[in-house]
Amino acid sequence: SLSRHIEERSACSACYGTLIHALKRLDEVGRLKNLKHTISIGQGFKGVEDPKKVGVGSCTQGLGKSLPGCPPKAVDMAEFIKGLEQPPRHHS
């Protein structure tokens, strides 16, 4: 289930739905298995400052990495989440 990638606190349905859509698209192309982060979302993150967390939406701007927008576009969320992946280690 996609919700295991999400830490949700009072998220608006538009923002949450967009995140689910973005995660679904990434999952379809196998891009979620490398995702080490949980994506924070929702009004419950307003004023929260945590450099270790990552989030989407304007409410999460106090986190270490945050994607602005209310709500952000799904394509932007997908790019943001892709950028969080740990690159595979190449052994020479």
Count of structural domains, the chain = 1
Residue type, 32: L
Flag whether 89 is in a domain.
no
- Give the global pTM: 0.90
Flag whether 92 is in a domain.
no
Flag whether 14 is in a domain.
yes
Flag whether 62 is in a domain.
yes
Residue type, 80: F
Flag whether 16 is in a domain.
yes
Write the pLDDT tens digit of every residue in 24-68. 999 999 999 889 899 999 999 999 999 999 999 999 999 999 999
Flag whether 90 is in a domain.
no
3-class state of residue 26 by DSSP? helix
In the chain, % of residues over pLDDT 90:
85
Residue with token string 């576009």: 73
84 touches 63 (CB < 8 A): no
Flag whether 77 is in a domain.
yes
34 touches 84 (CB < 8 A): no
Full residue range of the structural domain in which residue 9 is found: 2-82
Residue type, 16: Y
